[in-house]
């Protein structure tokens, strides 16, 4: 199978010649994230990272890592009470953020000329966007309740309205990236790490905007991947996402303590991906240790409807040759189980 055929078989829970691999990492440092609009050097570093990574690993799934832009900027500096949230104005079509997002996407995809894999762009949930805006504007003091959580307790309907406004901008951005910039599908990142929002609030007020973005992503293609963003010390309650309508699901197996096979049951038999922790063996293990880990993941989850991935992004400075080791381990496992 070629990369595209194998991936489509994976999404349909059909037999594959080997499990595909989708392990991602950022191309800029954490202190450079979100600064691409103001710093052209960081923006260029972000794009060039795709080219350098491909020199060592030609991916089974292409995903633009948009770290220099990443979370959509939203001004919340004027917010004093929950009712003020109705006046937020996220970026819209034609804005600098949309223009730079288009440029980053087109130029990053150009690094994968000749690779037939399916092409994804990352979208972040409205809640993640709004939470980031508040955390940057009103840093959380030790022991204090975050401002956004205070506003949610004050007026959850106002917060839901703000999230709906942001959702419209996320939808417009996704539409542009798919219809004009070469993307084929959306990789949607959501989270409620460590129960930031109480579960009842999340289901009633937060999930609405996420499901709106997800439904639109599904209308663009039937290949939406849902990344439930968590990692060591920042786990999610996976039950919050059991009714989300994605083509495949990824979560932090190690942070949440839910294996791929267990999660598959929770997500109604849908395809799953993951298995590796962010650091540990994927980052520092020997080739033999990596192979053993791949075999363990596939022994648990099987090869059908399983893609090898990680809890979240692996370290920025990882040697991309290690990802090729993972792919070779998948090939070896498949060969053993065919014989």
Q: What is the DSSP letter of 276?
A: E
Strand order across the 248-250 sheet:
62-63, 119-124, 185-190, 225-228, 248-250, 272-276, 306-310
Q: CB under 8 Å to 272, separation ≥6 — which residues?
A: 248, 249, 250, 260, 263, 264, 301, 305, 306, 307
Query: What was the pLDDT predicted at 82?
Result: 97
State the pTM of this model: 0.97
Structure confidence at residue 144 as a pLDDT band (50, 70, 90): confident
What backbone torsions phi and psi does residue 38 show, to the nearest 5 degrees?
Answer: -105, -20
Q: What is the pLDDT of residues 240-269, one digit of tens each?
A: 999 999 999 999 999 999 999 999 999 999
Q: What is the pLDDT of residues 76-108, one digit of tens each?
A: 999 999 999 999 999 999 999 999 999 999 999
User: How far is it, in rounded angstroms, from Cα 226 to Cα 272?
Assistant: 10
Whole-number pLDDT of residue 277: 96
Mean pLDDT (whole number) for 206-234? 97
State the average pLDDT over residues 19-37. 97
Query: 96-109 and 40-54 are packed helices; what angle lies between their axes, rounded to 10 degrees?
Result: 20
pLDDT at res. 339: 59
Over 70: is that where the pLDDT of 274 sits?
yes
Average pLDDT over residues 183-206: 98
In this prediction, residues 168-182 reach a mean pLDDT of: 98
Q: How far apart are CA 304 and CA 152, in angstroms?
A: 42
pLDDT attached to residue 141? 83
Tell me the C-alpha distance between 265 and 235, whole Å.
19
Grade residue 142 by pLDDT with cuts at 50, 70 and 90. confident
pLDDT at residue 120 in the model: 98
pLDDT digits (tens, 9 = 90+) for 54-67: 999 999 999 999 99
Distance (Å) of CA 23 to CA 118, 134, 148, 175, 336: 14, 30, 32, 25, 23
Mean pLDDT of all residues in 144-156: 95
**Model confidence pLDDT, tens digit, residues 117-140:** 999 999 999 999 999 999 999 998
- What contacts 24+ positions apart, CB below 8 Å, involve 17-20? 17/334, 18/303, 18/327, 18/330, 18/331, 18/333, 18/334, 19/298, 19/303, 19/306, 19/307, 19/308, 19/330, 19/333, 19/334, 20/60, 20/61, 20/307, 20/308, 20/330
Q: Which residues pair with 275 in a beta bridge?
A: 309
Pick among 3.60.20.30, 3.20.20.210, 2.40.30.30, 3.60.10.10: CATH of 3-338: 3.20.20.210
Q: What is the pLDDT, as a whole number, of residue 225?
A: 98
Spatial distance between the Cα atoms of 6 and 147, rounded to a whole number of angstroms: 46
Cβ-contact 177, 100 below 8 angstroms: no
Helix (H) or strand (E) holding 61, with range, is none
CA distance 28 to 31: 8
Q: State percent of the chain over pLDDT 70.
A: 100
User: What's the first-to-final CA gap in the chain, in angstroms?
Assistant: 18
CA distances for 296 relative to 117, 201, 250, 291, angstroms: 26, 37, 17, 9
């Amino acid at each position: 199978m070629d990369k595209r055929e194998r991936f489509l078989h994976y999404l349909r829970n059909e037999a594959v010649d080997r499990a595909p691999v989708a392990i991602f990492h950022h191309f800029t440092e954490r202190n450079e994230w979100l600064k691409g609009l103001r710093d052209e050097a960081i923006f260029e570093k972000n794009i060039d990272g795709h080219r350098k990574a491909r020199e060592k690993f030609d991916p089974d799934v292409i995903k633009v890592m948009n770290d220099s832009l990443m979370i959509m900027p939203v001004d919340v500096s004027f917010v004093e009470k929950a009712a003020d949230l109705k006046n937020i104005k996220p970026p819209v079509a034609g804005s600098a953020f949309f223009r730079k997002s288009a440029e980053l996407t087109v130029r990053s995809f150009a690094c994968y000329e000749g690779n037939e894999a399916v092409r994804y762009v990352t979208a972040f949930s409205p809640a993640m966007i709004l939470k980031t805006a508040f955390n940057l504007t009103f840093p959380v003091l030790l022991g204090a309740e975050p401002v956004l959580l205070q506003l949610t307790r004050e007026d959850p309907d106002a917060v839901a309205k703000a999230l709906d406004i942001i959702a419209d901008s996320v939808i417009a951005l996704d539409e542009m990236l798919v219809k004009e910039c070469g993307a084929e599908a959306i990789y949607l990142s959501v989270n409620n790490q460590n129960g930031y929002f109480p579960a009842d609030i999340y289901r009633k007020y937060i999930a609405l905007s996420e499901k709106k973005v997800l439904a639109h992503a599904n209308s663009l293609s039937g290949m939406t991947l849902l990344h439930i963003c968590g990692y060591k010390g920042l786990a999610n309650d996976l039950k919050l996402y059991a009714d989300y309508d994605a083509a495949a699901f990824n979560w932090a197996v190690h942070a949440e303590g839910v294996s791929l096979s267990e999660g598959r049951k929770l997500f109604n038999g849908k395809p799953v991906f993951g298995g590796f922790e962010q650091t540990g063996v994927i980052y520092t293990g020997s080739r033999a240790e990596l192979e053993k880990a791949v075999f363990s993941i596939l022994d648990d989850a099987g090869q059908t409807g399983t893609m090898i991935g990680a809890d979240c992004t692996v370290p920025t400075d990882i040697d991309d040759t290690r990802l090729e080791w993972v792919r070779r381990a998948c090939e070896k496992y498949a060969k053993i189980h065919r014989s």
